[in-house]
Amino acid sequence: HSTAVKTMPEGLHPSQPVLGDLSVTSLTPSSIWLQWSVPEGSFDSFMLQYRDAQGQPQALPIDGGSRSVTVPGLSPSRRYRFHLYGLQGGKRIDRVSIDVITAAAQPEELTLPSEEPQDEKQQTESPASKAPQVWAVLQELRVSSVTPKSVQLQWSVPMGSFDSFMLQYRDAQGQPQALPIDGGSRSVTVPGLSPSRRYRFHLYGLRGRKKTDHISTEVLTGKGE
């Protein structure tokens, strides 16, 4: 089936793409996961804009195929206004916005061990908690795009499935960051990075609340303008 739309002259837009609801799917003291829909047409890419806790404007480029994004590096109990733009040919075609208040800080949020030593003690498993029939497997954590301030990572799950993922890394100040990601996702954009800096990212696959697999990659961010 050939689509007549493709042969139409430039400038004729039989249907402008439309952005649907922008909603919050999960929330922590330092991050938020946003989701949206595109009920009509399609966009080349998206741009999420907001101001950080210091009032600095942040712009987060997002792939046109994405319908969700995780925004890390936020402050607890703070109101943020997020604007999502849909772009076509470099032009902003549509926009949706949402106000969100991050969760209150919890003492246990501050301790973020990269490995969890207490898990060692639980290796004496009771028969009931034996491994599931099919182990879920994480593979190929790779960089799909990189800028001076952000990086987009992609991975695959060739076997089984995970309930969720957790991306851990240290920011430019050496502070540990933990970014929760939905189990259906296969990519994530990490904003708020520093130019020309090497970061090590660890992606964990979780079943229930247990980390069952883990892959890592090192990324060098782009040079600043």
Q: In this structure, what CATH number is given to the domain that contains residue 84?
A: 2.60.40.10
Number of domains in the chain: 2
Alpha-carbon distances, residue 12 vs 94, 116, 145, 168, 198 (angstroms)? 17, 57, 31, 45, 45
- pLDDT tens for the chain, residues 1 to 225: 444 444 444 444 557 899 988 888 777 788 888 899 998 899 999 999 999 888 888 888 888 888 888 888 888 888 899 999 999 988 999 999 988 888 777 554 334 444 444 443 344 333 344 433 457 788 888 888 888 888 889 988 877 888 888 899 988 888 888 888 888 888 888 888 888 888 989 999 888 778 888 888 888 888 875
Of 102, 130, 156, the residue that ends a domain is: 102
pLDDT of residue 125: 39
pLDDT of residue 18: 92
Domain range enclosing 67: 21-102
Task: Please list, residue by residue across 16-40, b when 16 or more beta carbons sit within 10 angstroms of its beta carbon and e when fewer do.
Answer: ebebeebeeebbbbbbbbbbbebee
Residues 90 and 25 in one domain: yes
Of 102, 130, 153, the residue that ends a domain is: 102
Torsional class of 223: left (φ above 0), alpha (ψ -120 to 50), beta (otherwise): beta
Q: Which residues pair with 82 in a beta bridge?
A: 98
Of 102, 126, 150, the residue that ends a domain is: 102
Q: d(Cα 66, Cα 68) in Å, to the nearest integer? A: 6
pLDDT of residue 106: 59
Q: d(Cα 25, Cα 33) in Å, to the nearest integer? A: 6
Report field, pTM of the whole predicted structure over 0.85 = no
> Is residue 153 domain-resident?
yes
> Is residue 130 domain-resident?
no
pLDDT of residue 86: 95
